[in-house]
Amino acid sequence: MDLMQAARDVWGNAYAPYSRFKVGAAIRTRSGKVYVGVNVENVAYPEGTCAEAGAIAAMCAAGETEIAEVAVIADSPEPVPCCGGCRQKLVEFGGPEVVVTMGTIDGKSRQMTLAEILPGRFDASHMDKAWDKAGEGV
């Protein structure tokens, strides 16, 4: 299955009455399965969630945690880069080599790896000293 097509197929179901900016996302896992998500906004604006977060939640609910490929689509003049929070969410489940394809409804697209999308990522190794102290009552 074409991953961008999967994102496009779900894009129309985004719930975005406040921004009017619909986003669709699709994740292929290393098992080959595809999980999709849309942005879901709320009248209490900060309670909205991004399309990427929805796809990640669907993946985890299905018992999967290894991202192989990502596609994101919106009806924008240029391909939409994932927001900062979604970059951190994606690197939780994907290695630096994972390709993210960002597309527009009228067919423009751009590809970046997770390493390019989030250089200097915060990861679990940064907490090693804290974890060394686990059990010391710290």
Catalytic residues: 52
SS3 content of the chain, % helix, strand, coil (to 5): 30, 25, 45
Q: Which of 41, 68, 89, 90 binds ligand THU (CB under 6 A)?
A: 41
DSSP label of 56:
H
Minimum Å distance from CB 137 to ligand THU?
Answer: 41
135 touches 107 (CB < 8 A): no
Residue number, 21 or 131, with CB nearest to ligand THU = 21
Using only the alpha carbons of the chain, give its radius of gyration: 16
Binder of ligand THU out of 26, 36, 71, 86 (CB under 6 A): 86
CA distance 70 to 102: 8
CA distance linking residue 5 with residue 71, whole number of Å: 9
Q: Which of 19, 31, 65, 109 binds ligand THU (CB under 6 A)?
A: 19
Report if residue 117 touches ligand THU, rule: CB under 6 A: no
Determine contact, residues 102/72, Cβ cutoff 8 Å: yes
Out of 3, 7, 34, 52, point to the residue binding ligand THU (CB under 6 A). 52
- Asked if 90 and 52 count as a contact pair (C-beta separation under 8 A), the reply is yes
Instruction: With contacts defined by CB under 6 A, name the span among 56-64, 80-88, 92-100, 119-127 that binds ligand THU.
Output: 80-88
Amino acid 49 reads: T
Instruction: Please say which residue, 106 or 128, places its beta carbon nearer to ligand THU.
Output: 106
- Total number of residues that touch ligand THU (CB under 6 A): 14
Q: Given the rule CB under 6 A, which residues bind ligand THU? A: 16, 19, 21, 23, 39, 41, 48, 50-52, 80, 82-83, 86
